[in-house]
Structure 1
Amino acid sequence: MSRSEPIARSGPRPDDAWPLAGMATAWFDTVNGPDDHVIRDRLSAPRPTLCGLPLDRPRVMGIINVTPDSFSDGGDHAVLTAAVARAQQMADGEAHIIDIGGESTRPGAAEVPIEEEIRRTAPVIAAIRAAGVTLPISIDTRKARVAEAALDAGADIVNDVSAFEFDPSLADLCAERDVPVCLMHAKGLPETMQDNPTYEDVVGEVMDHLERRIDVACGRGVKRERIITDPGIGFGKTMEHNLSLLRHLTLLHDLGLPVLLGASRKSFIGKIGNAPQAKDRVGGSLAVALDGAAKGAHIIRVHDTRETTQALALAAAIAEGD
């Protein structure tokens, strides 16, 4: 399938250029592939607001994993009071969205029983709301019953790394509740996804997969304007696969939907940046976040919210020009 890839630019936007996916700080004047006014409109149009947040600039999604075994922060927020305190920090200007996860999907991770995942996540979400935090909350889960409990506790968004493949009934729940949902590309299950993943064309195959999953979601009643896309950095991909997807991130704008980028502290950053320990990958994570923002990523999912928000603010100020 022939697709259109806008070439991202930064700095003050010329009068004869177009905003990139509705972003105020990124634009394009050249398209690789088919190019006409209909395509340019799709590539440039503002994306739907997300829980009241205009997606005209990068929004920071802060990660709170209430798990004992996540690859980077496992155990850091497993106690309810620690998770609430971290959410309050994020709400104090560090992030725009909070993402709560109760099941590690790192390479090799085993599935968590539904009741245990609910026990980990729903009370934390309820406590965050009781503490007065009003930021949109995303529940990072593959399971309908977990998402239902989270939404009942005060969550607003469903973030499914399986794009409704693991539990198709999750699509029905999202349609019934009319909530935003993030559909991510992943090749295989966490237990085995890094066992020699192969592609003939990783960028094309990820795009094909996302298009199919969007069609499935819409067929189950999810409104297209409620869908966010995610290329799934690190999910069934080698370092070269990840880099290729990052180089061609603007291609995702051809889908006409918001783009979420989640690369924070992942292993390819450690390999390139000589940082074996995940918490030592802040600099590399910031580099990827800034590159993604320059390519029109609407949501940047990160562990290091304060540093990322600061870096994005500086990048935006520089891009505005004189």
Structure 2
Amino acid sequence: MTINCNGKLLSLDQPKVMGILNVTPDSFFDGGKYKDEKSILNQVEKMLNEGATFIDVGAYSTRPGALEVDEAIELKRIAPIVNLILKNFPGIILSIDTFRSNVAKACVENGASIINDISAGLQDSDMLPTVAKLHVPYIMMHMRGTPQNMQQKTDYEDVVKEVLSFFSERLVAAKALGIKDIIIDPGFGFAKSLHQNYKLLNQMEVMKIIEHPLLAGISRKSMIYKTLDTTANQALNGTTALHMICLQKGANILRVHDVKEAMECIKLYEQLNA
């Protein structure tokens, strides 16, 4: 499997790591941590040195119950960060975590390479046409509702079948517009109960039937720390344990807060399957 990033084909046959950079004050794990140029650049350099292939920048917290952020504020937060990172790390593969087409367009025009949309185009009707015109890879995630109300929308008859059906519909819509490089994200923690998250993870290999690269985003999420009766800050060990399961179930990309540990997990997985 390959995706085209900045005119270069990138193989995803070997699992890759996407490092998370939240520039929001209220993200569930690292909110407010990266708010000045030095801390941002230090964290990006750290993640790249530890083996991250992608850096995913977000300026709108999508944790359950997060406050809605005005589009102008999101753009004001993220645009300078994109410019700062690309100026200091030319050639970096920068992913933009947004569900807004105007934010996506502005960031790609400034040099970003991928759009990561938690709503798969459902929150902004212009998102899919915009991505098609930008000719960049598109990560579409499964979610019901919005971050503000998604945890009231977990009434699935069969979460695995309904997530598959969702992607079938959204892929048809995206491909009809000419979007070629599409990555799917099952959306762990988004409009899913604790039990549903684990059912989805346990059967995640069925997502491979879609024949698109698969991204797993479970890093330090509540499905881990609530199970262990701990906190996001103490959830690294649990995250690593589930990352190995994700790899065994077919994940091509791990979206993580802790790049070094995720890379070690991939190395051990590859040795196991050598």
Do both share a fold (TM > 0.5)? Answer: yes
Alpha-carbon distance in structure 2 between the residues aligned to 1:114 and 1:59? 30
**Native 8 Å contact 1:174 1:181 kept in 2:** yes
Q: Distance in 2 between matches of 1:174 and 1:152?
A: 12
| C-alpha contact 1:156 1:179 (8 A) present in aligned 2 | yes
Does 1:294 find its partner at 2:251?
Answer: no
Q: Is the 8 A contact 1:123 1:153 kept in 2?
A: no
> Once structures 1 and 2 are overlaid, which stretch shifts more, 256-265 or 310-319?
310-319
- Pairing partner for 1:227 from 182, 207, 210: 182
* TM-score, structure 1 normalization: 0.81
Residue 160 in structure 1 maps to residue 117 in structure 2: yes
Is 2:170 the counterpart of 1:216?
no
SS where residue 62 of structure 2 aligns? Answer: coil
Partner residue of 1:263 out of 205, 212, 218: 218
Give the secondary-structure state (helix, strand or coil) at the position aligned to 2:152.
coil
The letter of the residue matching 2:229 is N
CA-CA distance at 1:133 after TM superposition: 4.6
**Is the aligned partner of 1:142 residue 2:96?**
no
Matched residue, 1:16: none
Which amino acid letter does the alignment assign opposite residue 38 of structure 2? T
Aligned length: 271
Does the 8 A contact of 2:26 with 2:32 survive in 1?
yes
**Is 1:245–2:193 an aligned residue pair?**
no
The CA distance in 1 between the partners of 2:205 and 2:211, in whole Å, is 11
Offset, 1:234: 0.4
Moved over 6 A (4+): none
Note the C-alpha offset of 1:90. Answer: 1.3
Matches of 2:84 and 2:59, distance apart in 1: 15
Residue 52 of structure 2 corresponds to 95
SS of the counterpart of 1:94? Answer: coil
Q: CA deviation at 1:157?
A: 0.2
Residue in 2 that maps onto 1:282: 236
Q: What is the Cα deviation at residue 135 of structure 1?
A: 2.7
Q: Structure 1 residues 233 and 284, CA, compared in 2 at 3 Å: closer, same or farther?
A: same
1:79 is aligned, of 32, 36, 60, to 36
1:8 maps to none
Question: CA shift at 1:144, angstroms?
Answer: 0.7
CA gap of 1:196–1:186, structure 2 versus 1, over 3 A, is closer
SS in 2 for 1:74: coil
Q: How far off its partner does 1:172 sit? A: 1.1
In structure 1, distance between residues paired with 2:232 and 2:34: 16
| SS class of match (2:198) | helix
Report deviation, 1:191: 0.5
Q: Is 1:313 the equivalent of 2:267?
A: yes
User: Residue type of the partner of 1:238?
Assistant: S
1:236 to 2:206 alignment: no
Whole-Å separation in 2 of the counterparts to 1:153 and 1:55: 25
CA drift of 1:49 comes to 3.2
Q: Which has the larger radius of gyration?
A: 1
Contact 1:137 1:157 (C-alpha < 8 Å) held by counterparts: yes
Deviation at 1:53, TM superposition (A): 2.3
- Counterpart secondary structure, 1:235: coil
